[in-house]
Amino acid sequence: MRWRWLRNRFVVTFGGAALLTAVWNVYIAYHDDGIIAGQVVGPDGAAVSGATVRLSEKTLLVSQTRGQTTTDADGRFEFKGHRMHRLYLEADKDGVGRYGPREYRLYFNGENLVLGKPLQLSAPGAS
């Protein structure tokens, strides 16, 4: 009797929506460090060190470069602290080739993005 009001359809609907929102926000709080990590490989699949990776943002309103880094000896790169939800990655190395720019869309600003697939450079003019 005391808990009957919980089964009211309004309570269930709006309570459910509130619960989902809360869970979603908790998830966001643990996954919004703004890390983008990945690896650059050459046309042959070998890691490329010293390649330039550029990160740019595109939303409905803006489109501009947000960061640039070079890959380490294993061809890995990492950006930290981005606040975007729609971004482009672009990589190139003189004499090897270039990649992108390719669009990545995230579910919320600053979502961590660890690329499973490496960015594969292709020789200029090849594509």
* Residues that bind another protein in the complex, under the rule CB under 8 A: 9-10, 13, 59-61, 85-86, 105-109
Token reading at 50 = 């010293």
Smallest distance, Å, CB 39 to another protein?
A: 25
Write the DSSP assignment of 50-64 as a string of letters. Answer: S-EEEEEEE-SS-EE
The span from the CA of 46 to the CA of 41, in Å, is 5
Considering the complex, state which of residue 9 and residue 117 has its C-beta at the smaller distance from another protein.
9
Alpha helices in 1-127 (DSSP H): 9-30
Considering the complex, state which of residue 67 and residue 110 has its C-beta at the smaller distance from another protein.
110
Smallest distance, Å, CB 60 to another protein?
A: 4
> Which residue carries 């690329």 as its tokens?
115
Considering the complex, state which of residue 47 and residue 115 has its C-beta at the smaller distance from another protein.
115
